[in-house]
Chain A
Amino acid sequence: MITHHPVDATLVAAAAGTLPAPHLRVLAVHLAHCPACAGALRAAEAVGGGLLADLPPAPLRADALDRALARLDDPAPLPEPASVTPAVTLAGLATGRWRRITPWIAMMALSPRDTTDSRLDLIRVRPGAALLSHGHTGLETTCVLQGAFDDGTAQYGVGDFAEGDPALDHQPRALPGETCVCLIATTGALRPHGWFGRMVRPMIGM
């Protein structure tokens, strides 16, 4: 059962188009498991529409409508991306190479740091193993694809969505059972704590 959901601010950012793409990919995994949040995102888009309708109209060029009408029979201005849906399963996402970070942790880079300083990775943690204790300089979002983890305050299973902001420090630990695999988007750098984190940080390129 899904017990951890994105906050409204995150859904609003997704609807507004200001949530960096890697976080949108993590959110897509949660939405595939959570009809309630999928509905909440549609509601946030409806709000975007309502605010658009309320905007004071900007004056257009005098020939704007004529130009548009003259172009109606041209081919569509953009290729149609509508048939592409983002991968939301472990099998669909894990198309790269696992890199072992420690004997218990492996990572797979899915998209490099973009212009918003955000990146997307898979992380695989052996049951019982702790991830590095860390904080962030920016938003971090995580969705569990397999297994479960405990971040010190709560447990997260498949489909659960975890988000941290710069104020949050945590030490996630994979729960016993299946190997825990998560899709994780990070903006800015991790701030690992302690000697272990400082040692691991250069290895994982964060």
Chain B
Amino acid sequence: MLIPHPLLGPRDAQEFTYLGDASLIDRPDGMADGAEAAFCDYVYLRDNPAGVHRELWFHEFGDRSWLVVTRNTVTHEILGAELAADVARRGR
């Protein structure tokens, strides 16, 4: 798989490590009511879809940036990639 890095162009997926669903960017507020249940969902539960999936990849053997990659889990086709920092700033 080739990941279209927004700054570096196409890079071999082997240069990256995989974390998981991009919803992990949205960390719950530990002080809010119901924080315990919210953290349990955040840490353990996943949508795990068959089809389009937005996911976090870390460019460990590259520029060490975090990317949000949009990929089809049925075909392995990669539909796009953006810097996770941009996604987090924009709010999802």
| Chain A bound to chain B | no
* A residues lining the B interface (CB < 8 Å): none
